[in-house]
Chains A and B, each alone.
Chain A
Amino acid sequence: MSREDYEMVIGLEVHSELSTKTKIFCSCPTEFGGEPNTHCCPVCMAMPGTLPVLNEKVVEYAIKAGLATNCKIADVSKNDRKNYFYPDLPKAYQISQYDMPLCEHGYVEIEVNGEKKKIGLTRIHIEEDAGKLNHDDYGRGSLVDLNRAGVPLIEIVSEPDLRSTEEVDLYLKKLKSILEYIEVSDCKMQEGSFRADVNVSVRKKGQKEFGTRTEMKNMNSFRSIIRAIEYEAERQIEVLEDGGKIDQETLRWDDVSGKTFPMRDKEDAKDYRYFPEPDLVTIKISEEMIQNIKNSLPEMPEKRRERYVKEFNLPEYDAKVLTQEKALSDMFEQANNICKNPKTVSNMIMTDIIGYLNFEEIEAKEIPFTAQQLGNLVLLIDKGTISSSIAKKVLQEMFENPREPQKIIEEKGWIQISDEGAIKEVVLKILEANPQSIADFKAGKDRALGFLVGQAMKETRGKANPQMLNKMFLEELKK
């Protein structure tokens, strides 16, 4: 038996912070950062005698997420207490949902090697986030900051439908994209607002029963998730091949060593003694409420993709790439509103902007310049003020020190030379210095023209209008 005889079975529990203004059970701000314990009040600090009151936006956002992922929305739902001790959980229980979640039985569609596959969603429920433990300077104690305690989360539980790390990657990207499109979560992974618990097992291909699974908690980068799954599946196969058996346990992924380690607390801790939260009342969801939320759903990626092909004549592939992330898609549309040149905007986003993002490993929503500035940049090309190769340099500058493209080209002296007299001067100078090229051209070597144009561009540091150069060289050469 070898690696190829096995398949992975993966299920994910994604936690995504909702982008409400206030916490789930009190009116404290959810804003990230801030001095420790300044976004807190007696409720989220669990002072005795305080009572939670549910934020209506949390319910609305969770239902919105449910509708966007084809879930059935419950007509009656409730909150439950999940009991455990940890210093970042001031009440010693987390208010979550147990047997009556807001949304159930949904799916997310991904495209694997050109084929559509539905990944089932078991449920989506609402719950509160925990605080953060810091370590003091001398290593003598831990310090508790409760700014994040009570920030609303949705937990999206998938069925064990994922069969490879490629599918995991596609599923997570799709889910993130959906949540961003419907604007219920920022999904900022570095801030921990989109993270996942990963369940992995392996089984021989063709086998019906699932193998024993292990769980890795709180992973907050796509890359770690993929690496951890690869490692863990490999480890399980090795254990099985050696005649061993897999323990159902929670593991800790260590990014530095690239290995998983058993967590110290064992399954005993899994007994959370859930019971209905007595401090909150039942949630009833009317058909009317669901309909209102449904009507508020924006155009989703698939629809935008179709529209881009029809309305802007973009190739199917380009439309797909552009709509994968809401931030890029919005940028495309807003920039195009300014310059009315979808093809050029699309090309700049697909090659230069995405290239930069990938290279610098930053997310699209962190792009420092505005869509208006991108639109203005394309206008500058269209008006012949700059060449497209200069535009690439301007874009680079916009990433590093964002300001109006017009200002950048003025400061850098990158304005294209389109003045006939000035161009002619350069052309004559280059011809005089390259008699061999003239001879080559006359002998039928067309490549000589390209060389001459290249020399002229070099001379003008890329500022000469290339079409005009071409034309004028031809005129002179044919004299």
Chain B
Amino acid sequence: MKNYIINALVKLWKRGSRLMIISKDEILHIANLADLNIKDDEIDEYAKNLQDILNFVNILNKVDTENVEESIGVVNNTNVFRKDEIKVFEDKDALLQNAPDQESNMFKIPKVI
């Protein structure tokens, strides 16, 4: 990042307010959604880390966007399309090459009910 942006962010941060406080329940819920097992004694650590990230991002809420046009994506391009034409991927063996286990040309995984 360019220095002037960082300086601006630090300035804003100093003015910034705390947006939301991350609760333990929130940490457990997010861990569950992300399919992560975290230990009880790790919860505080994660809460603190996430809080720092949120606070940092919260700085952006202070930016004056009065005359800035709303954007949806990070790039200004629109309508990047592909023609509906078949291109067969030839290197089929490569596709399953890193599969931990396979059978009948399919990925073999623990049983799903």
B-contacting residues of A (Cβ < 8 Å)? 20-22, 27-29, 35-38, 40-42, 45, 53-57, 59, 76, 78, 83, 85, 87, 100, 133-136, 139-145, 268, 271, 273, 276, 278, 280-284
Contacts and interface: CB of A to CB of B under 8 A. Distances in A.
A278 B104 CA distance: 35
A45 B72 contact: no
B111 A139 contact: yes
B109 A141 contact: yes
Contacts of B77: 281-282
B110 A53 contact: no
B32 A27 contact: no
B109 A284 contact: no
Interface stretch (B10-18, B57-65, B95-103): B95-103
Contact of A22 (B84, B95, B109, B111): B84
Contact of A21 (B32, B74, B86): B86
B109 to A, nearest CB: 5
Given A27-B85, A56-B82, A139-B111, A278 B73 contact: yes
Nearest to B84: A57
A18 to B, nearest CB: 10
Contact of A136 (B79, B87, B103, B105): B103
Contact of A36 (B85, B89, B106, B109): B106
B81 interface: yes
A260 B106 CA distance: 32
Interface string B32-52: 110100000000000000000
A278 B110 contact: no
B112 A87 contact: yes
B53 interface: no
Rank and list the top 4 A-B pairs by shortest CB-CB distance, nearest first.
A41-B89, A56-B81, A143-B106, A27-B87
B73 A141 contact: no
Given A22-B84, A28-B89, A144-B109, A36 B104 contact: yes
B84 A55 contact: yes
B73 A37 contact: no
A29 B87 CA distance: 8
A1 B89 CA distance: 63
Contacts, number: 116
B73 A144 contact: no
A78 B82 CA distance: 16
Contact of A20 (B84, B96, B111): B84
B92 A38 contact: yes
A139 B107 CA distance: 15
A136 to B, nearest CB: 6
Contacts of B109: 87, 141-144
Contact of B112 (A40, A76, A142, A282): A142
Contacts of A143: 103-104, 106-109
Interface residues of B, number: 35
B80 interface: yes
A37 B78 contact: no
B111 A142 contact: yes
Contact of B111 (A29, A38, A45, A141): A141
A283 B95 contact: no
Given A140-B111, A281-B75, 8 more contacts: A37-B96, A37-B105, A40-B89, A56-B82, A141-B103, A141-B108, A276-B73, A281-B79
B88 interface: yes
B2 interface: no
Nearest to A100: B72
A290 to B, nearest CB: 14
Contacts of A22: 82, 84-87
B86 A29 contact: yes
A57 B85 CA distance: 10
Contacts of B35: 85
A35 B89 contact: no
Contacts of A57: 84
A421 to B, nearest CB: 63
Contact of B80 (A28, A41, A53, A278): A53
A281 B35 CA distance: 29
A280 B77 CA distance: 9
A281 B73 contact: yes
A54 B96 CA distance: 25
A190 B74 CA distance: 41
A78 B103 contact: no
A282 B75 CA distance: 9
B93 to A, nearest CB: 11
B85 A141 contact: no
Contacts of B29: 268, 271
19 contacts: A22-B85, A22-B87, A27-B82, A27-B85, A28-B86, A29-B86, A37-B105, A41-B89, A53-B82, A54-B80, A55-B84, A78-B73, A141-B103, A141-B111, A143-B104, A144-B108, A271-B33, A276-B73, A284-B78
